[in-house]
Amino acid sequence: MSLLTNHTDPTSLASREAIYSELLSCLDDLVKIYRSLLEVVRKEKEILVESRLDELNENNKAKDTLLVRIRSLENSRTKLARDLAVLTSSDVDQPRLLELASNMPKGQGDRLRNMHSVLELLVRRVSEVNKANEELVQSALRSITGAMEAIKDGLAPAKTYGQKGSMEQKPEGGALVSREA
């Protein structure tokens, strides 16, 4: 079936419209979830900077919940994009919103391009904030590790000279049980 036939066949036109509407709904949900995720990772940054570790666990649970929801919506989006790709003669194996948009009527195509831009921006922002959060955590871990090494060195017994001029080892001092923070 050609692209021209797909646009004029009432059955495929109705199918395309239904799938397009479902896809837009899915994309709207993804935008909402990514906005929520952006808020959560920004809050995570505040929590890390202010060392409110009691709130960090709750924030991580909220982030995990959003990520599970995103995975589910991404699966739906992929299926709907494939279904729409079949009806618009687009790449079915790896359907892209921009390609689908170019094979849709102007208004629908513009809406898909807009959704693509919004999602791309949100994903980029979430990624940037999340990377900054990771750097904060790594820096904190390096500081804690350094402090623990200094404490361990402070607990080690001092080496002294024995009666014959050689170094005498005293029994080992206190030892740390774990380096985990």
Q: 160: pLDDT confidence band, cut at 50, 70 and 90?
A: low
The DSSP-derived string for 68-107 is: HHHHHHHHHHHHHHHHHHHHHT--SSS--HHHHHHTS-HH
- Express each pLDDT in 90-146 by its tens digit: 888 888 999 999 999 999 999 999 999 999 999 999 999 999 999 888 877 777 777
Strand, coil or helix: 158: coil
- CATH level 3 topology of 3-156: Methane Monooxygenase Hydroxylase; Chain G, domain 1 (1.20.58)
Place of tokens 């890390």: 48
Across the chain, what does the average pLDDT equal?
A: 83
Strand, coil or helix: 168: strand
Higher pLDDT, 80 or 160: 80
Residue ranges of domains in the chain: 3-156
**Is residue 26 pLDDT above 90, yes or no?**
yes
CA distances from 66 to 23, 41, 61, 129 (A): 19, 11, 9, 16
